[in-house]
Structure 1
Amino acid sequence: MATNENSTEIDEGLYSRQLYVLGHEAMKKMKNSNVLISGMKGLGVEIAKNIILGGVKSVTVHDEGNTEWNDLSSQFYLTEGDIGRNRAEISEGRLAELNNHVPVSSHTRRLTEDFLYQFQVVVLTSSSLEEQLWVGDSCHRSNIKFIVADTKGLFGQVFCDFGKRFVVTDPNSEELQHATVMWITKNNPGLVTCLDERRHGFQTGDYVTFSEIQGMTELNNCKPIEVQVNDPYSFLICDTSNFSDYKKGGIATEVKMPQELTFKPLREALKEPTYQISDFGKVNRHKTLHIAFQALHQFVKEYGCLPKPWGTDDAERLVAAANKLSKEDPSILNEEPLNEGLVRKLANVATGNLSPINAFIGGITAQEVMKACSGKFVPLNQWMYFDALECLPEESEDFLSTEESCQPNIQYEDRPYDTTGLY
């Protein structure tokens, strides 16, 4: 274990920009959070890097596997000299150098339920579906925040389960709105009219409290009242018909109310998914990708490897597995047809291990870890799928991707070097 300085105090110089966004209370919660990140390939190390720089209490990196040639395409802490050595042990010391306020340790044995209990957040990358399910069940029972993240070539997946009762203390971190009151009616509901010089800025469902009102003093320092916007300069509140007559003055101030969210465990969320749309230009793809990623797990379990780059036979096997899953549970597609072309693309590029995709999915995952630790901002709901297929070159007679043209063709000391299957 890399033993680094750890303190309950917040280094305001180090975390100045983060404090501006999160605030001291959220940072203190993060300083009390121990995080486990399983899988130290390109995606796992990207997440670990972000979380360590974010300033949690501690980070443990886990991996049972040793460094392979294809890890070098995106795992920036591994070198040729590390091949054959455990990924977590190699990464530990280099990650620890990022922030001496965050202790970093490594774990190289199989995960157990007892081991998981020491963490507030558990993140799995590069895990089988079977491991995801049992770890997800254990975390949900123990109220441990659980995240699954994965990348396959130009595709990415993130899943969040923050338990049966997760409280978001600040959904958006926007500045509180203030409005100067000009008049309040005695009615049910009461109508609050604000000065014309400036829009009040409230939205229906927001909560406000009042101060400095003369006359209708029952509203001064009242409990937060939900508003219904009437127009940009007025809004409706509670029953004011029995209050004192309004005379003049007053300020309406927005109050941020905590939101309580409930998450399904992974086992249920696979069958009853809810999605966070990452790209509204590809809004019809997430249901197919939800099935395709499960089919990919089945493929690896059956054949012991990912589909070959642009391998026609492997692509058709993945399509067949996806079609079978969609027929077993038609509610997932909800009468939409399976996008077989999208499934084939996933099969074609699944062996790819690309730094830009890992950086993007790793950044999103790290944000979800910080939300889990701090209660700041609304988490993903619950699945998110991403693809960057527009990065593929357009095929033509001069450039046609085939299984033969996408075979690894670089040799180093008589050992094949994985070119990710995207060239």
Structure 2
Amino acid sequence: MEATPRPSINIMTALLLLSLHGFIGPAAMAEQPSISADQASLLALKQHITDDPEDLLSTNWTETTSVCNWVGITCGTTHTSRVTRLNLACMGLSGTLPPQLGNLSFLAYFNITNNTFHGSLPVELSHLRRLQYFSVRGNFFEGEIPPWLASLPRLKYLFLNANGFSGTIPESICNVSTLQTLDLSENQLAGTILPLIFNIPLLKVIDLSNNQLSGAMPSSVFSESPLLDIDHSSNSLSGVLPQNICGNLPNLQGLFLSFNQFSGGIPSSLSECRQLQVLALSVNNFSGTIPRELGNLTLLNGLYLGVNNLIEYGSGGVVSTRGDVYSYGILLMETFTGKGPTDEMFSGEESLKRWVKNSLPDAVGDVLDAKLLSREELTAAKLECVSTILELAAHCCTELPGERKGMNDVLAKLEKIRTVLGQM
């Protein structure tokens, strides 16, 4: 008698049957330890937070609720719903970062911007191999920039600005081939600018402003770069600008080198940066004449050359040595409002000037950059000083050159204001 043929079953059915009988129980349960590991890592972070003024984490991050429903947490739809985003920006949190955060192995987005975290960045964060966005800006981290950042193979956006990082820029950062935005501004970094940093193949924005960097501008970019913005303002950079500065920067839109110690002439080759929209060279030691070739920059809508040793400045056919005062007035407005003529709310310098003038004298608090003075620090006396500064800026920007204040008068007035502020 022939044996009855057994019915065929597919692999998925077989696995299901085996799981029901407990044969693959440990594998089937693997997803639970995974999300539990994420939960444990985040609870470790909660334990390292010493101040949570809004009680956002203390009341929400509890073991009785799903991690994926916690405030600031986003989970993916695949890979057993692992944590993919951590966003605790602007929550007023204080504390340190625990090493357990390195166990968030599916994390792609890490943002703790504008809190008061301190200490150092734990080396265990180098285990976050899927990380693409990393921002700790606006905190109180210190120490050297960790070289292990170069071991993050997918990192695109790195924001370490507005902290207390010191030392030099690590050479290893030049090896992050996926990097598109690098912001190390507002720290205490010293040393020179690494030439190879401009050869990061996908880098579009580099901001090293407000540090203690010295030395010369790197003389060349060795390969064509997609850079859009270079900001090295407010450092101690010196020497002359390279004649070939635009040679391999066909896409450059913003070049910000104000508040340094550059000298020599302004290179006429800057006209080769055809996409340039803002050129800021104010408060340096440039000398000579302003190159006529800059007139070929048809997209240029912001030109800042004030407080240098240049002979003459032309505006609307009027040549005046007070043209630099005009640029300085715009610079003052930018500094105290945090806005520039190219801000999306404006259509140019005239709109910026009008916005500032309309705030005078009683509404300067509405235009003042919140980063300069918090609401608690904004006393009537300080507001009066700010109003005086912005009124001075407006006088610098009057249309007729002969009606503008002289640069010596402007600086003397600012010195008096600084003295008054120092006594408050």
Question: TM-score higher than 0.5 here?
Answer: no
Answer with 1 or 2: which has the greater Rg. Answer: 2
Q: Which has the higher contact order (CA 8 A, sep 6+)?
A: 1
What is the TM-score with the length of structure 1 in the denominator? Answer: 0.29
